[in-house]
Structure 1
């Protein structure tokens, strides 16, 4: 099997800070500097929603809090693999009195029991502490306010966030950057947040002090957003406060250009950050809690976010969000922004509006998710054909699955290209240049047209380039992600469920090296080999690479040879099962191709729905 074409020639290193404290993740620690090889991977974790009041065996209708007086076991949960069967199962659930499971209760509004939280962080520490370069952590680290008998309190919300910080710092060593962002349930009351400085921003400034660079602490006090360089001078992650753009926040009023509203000021700040990072020839991930769906943001905020995303396409390598508890991706594009500015956004947002109040997709999940599913299918189906589409007019937004079992718990691992990073990034940046749209059809001098994308593009330059990391496979390009999930949630407390691969965007040849003599530190495989299904070390033993022999140079040894061959067949079959998309990378063009495939192939679309 051939090596992936992004295998590097020389090992790369990341400057990291050494400190005697096991919790020294403070970006300002001034101890001796070490050099650590990059892993070319990072984690996206979102919507943990720990609930210390969760009580196994309690009623789901009571928020999984109240213990039954009589003895009973929780009902067996249905398999989430078939849409029609699942809808029937949901009906049965409503008729029966479902009880809370030991490890969580999927497809309900119950939050995460501490058993799920603890086993998740144990898994993160065991498998990923030394395998990732940074962690994107997009908020909601407190329970929902769904039990009137146990109302949420500010001190409980802060305490749960402190606990999650402690677990994160215990799971990952000091050199792994952790970039948190504020969720709509991390504040009291939920959704509602005014501009700082405030008691809330001051408290989170203390809770997140290890993660916020000192240069951004005054900015954080005011707006609770910041930027962190996860690879110095090359890659940054910007933590956005999406609550200032969230139209369920009644204390703000959108992002009108040149206004003093906190949402507008954050957009102004973001534009300055993007301009500075571009001038420094860096790349950036934009991350936050509430994704820029039209039904989530104020209209002006949605348009301004889309404007910045498109104008800095050559600098923004990707967009990562949480909140919706639904594993999916969508596009922001010029055509949609133009249409949104004409129609005022609201007519097509009923599915999102149902979701906004809690940050979850309503009772029993899937029935409320139909609107989003249909909307994505419509958007993918209306994309221009291969000859007509202009990739410069598109960006991709990824929304990760949640740890809270609104469906089944999920955690995502991304891989990105670290090959020849120091040499190639300079060459790519030197070729950057700005472009502007053709002359717009509407008269931009008229007030009713001034916020339309083509009018914004007219007086502000657009930066895009076919050789930038978001458009072609080069250093810092996201190569793919692997979605881990927790099936078998109906296990009792004595049999802990195990995190497994649900699917990966990678091709099979990207998952495994072509031979075991290569130095895997050059560009490690997307995930450690032992996490692959049906993995066995013998399959990567150089002496067993020849399928017709038990050992190199030996004669076939009967049953032993058959065993190895059977193991290979099982391994190949398992890899084929978890690689449905076979994307060469996560560039914009690759996502466009995937969207077209999903619409053209009914079987693929059904699989996409099930993954959602």
Structure 2
């Protein structure tokens, strides 16, 4: 995963002369360079009390399905199916409640455009301007709210995912290769009903069906697991930012190693 930040569009423009020449996340870079670039970006994520999430977006890179050069993988996502539907305001609406105490920008971002962080008068006008680039074509209105499903855990918020892969692609028609759990984003405690809800287990919606979990994770008392290194509460932007902050610190060497291993599973650069 990585982040897109609208506030950095102008920075890229000034550093590269044109946004078209930016190679920060060039897919042709070598694996080590990409991994290093991501960690560098993660180390710059602001602390929770200073972070602004209105212009931040999370991009999840899907795993490889075709085994070239990676092992085939896929993800199963779980979503929050309870709560009140989020209804975004009409274009031009302002306001909003301050429901996220860690978000320093609590109001709906209205009347803004994707390119508002660009000095259009200077950059996008004149004969020598880059007004033909995508940077000067960001004219669609956009809105951001701390109450949206991407910011707080509410109806339709992604709660987490489990990633499965084929560690061995050899097999026969009678005994085909089997998919195995590679890792999941959940904390093990969130895979089962809380102790107080044990009697109401029939009403609990398991985020991952028990039969799809390894035996070690079917135990409701399990607090840690090699399959759950991230232990994320959900997949909101704030949770992704929290994981990025951990990966951005060199003291989390083991977590970094797993992150790199998951990036290049089967490609010979897991370490």
**Both proteins in one fold, TM over 0.5:** yes
Q: How does 1:220-259 map to 2 (within 5 A)?
A: none
The count of residues paired between Structure 1 and Structure 2 equals 229
SS at match of 2:75: strand
Q: Note the C-alpha offset of 1:341.
A: 3.0
- Equivalent position of 1:371 in the other structure: 33
Q: Note the C-alpha offset of 1:451.
A: 7.9
- Equivalent position of 2:205 in the other structure: 524
Q: Note the C-alpha offset of 1:463.
A: 0.7
1:593–1:349 Cα change, 3 Å? closer
1:517–1:392 Cα change, 3 Å? same
Structure 2: any 5+ residue segments left out of the alignment?
90-94, 97-107, 264-271
Conserved? CA contact 2:54–2:109, under 8 Å: no
1:452–1:386 Cα change, 3 Å? farther
> Is 1:594 matched with 2:243?
yes
> Is 1:610 matched with 2:261?
yes
Map Cα deviations across residues 184-229 of structure 1 (whole Å, 9 max, x no partner).
xxxxxxxxxxxxxxxxxxxxxxxxxxxxxxxxxxxxxxxxxxxxxx
**CA-based RMSD:** 3.3
- Equivalent position of 2:193 in the other structure: 513
SS at match of 1:519: helix
Q: Note the C-alpha offset of 1:583.
A: 0.7
- Equivalent position of 1:333 in the other structure: 5
State the alpha-carbon separation in 1 of the partners of residues 182 and 175 from structure 2. Answer: 20
SS at match of 1:503: strand
State the alpha-carbon separation in 2 of the partners of residues 443 and 498 from structure 1. Answer: 54
Structure 1: any 5+ residue segments left out of the alignment?
1-328, 355-367, 541-567
Q: 2:71 aligns with which of 408, 425, 431?
A: 408
State the alpha-carbon separation in 2 of the partners of residues 498 and 375 from structure 1. Answer: 34
SS at match of 1:332: strand
Q: How does 1:535-574 map to 2 (within 5 A)?
A: 572=222
Map Cα deviations across residues 496-547 of structure 1 (whole Å, 9 max, x no partner).
3321111111111211123264334xx621111112111698x68xxxxxxx
- Equivalent position of 2:121 in the other structure: 445
Conserved? CA contact 2:153–2:236, under 8 Å: yes
SS at match of 2:121: coil
Conserved? CA contact 2:9–2:117, under 8 Å: no
- Equivalent position of 2:184 in the other structure: 504
Conserved? CA contact 1:482–1:504, under 8 Å: yes
- Equivalent position of 2:102 in the other structure: none
1:496–1:610 Cα change, 3 Å? same
Conserved? CA contact 1:512–1:529, under 8 Å: no
Conserved? CA contact 2:159–2:234, under 8 Å: yes
- Equivalent position of 1:381 in the other structure: 43
Q: Note the C-alpha offset of 1:586.
A: 0.5
Q: Note the C-alpha offset of 1:492.
A: 4.5
1:419–1:350 Cα change, 3 Å? closer
> Is 1:348 matched with 2:23?
yes
Instruction: Give the TM-score normalised by structure 1.
Output: 0.34
State the alpha-carbon separation in 2 of the partners of residues 348 and 443 from structure 1. Answer: 22
Conserved? CA contact 1:485–1:499, under 8 Å: yes
Q: Note the C-alpha offset of 1:413.
A: 0.3
- Equivalent position of 1:398 in the other structure: 60
Instruction: Give the TM-score normalised by structure 2.
Output: 0.71
Conserved? CA contact 2:166–2:177, under 8 Å: yes
Higher relative contact order (CA 8 A, sep 6+): 2
Conserved? CA contact 1:333–1:393, under 8 Å: yes
Q: Note the C-alpha offset of 1:452.
A: 9.3
Higher helix share: 1
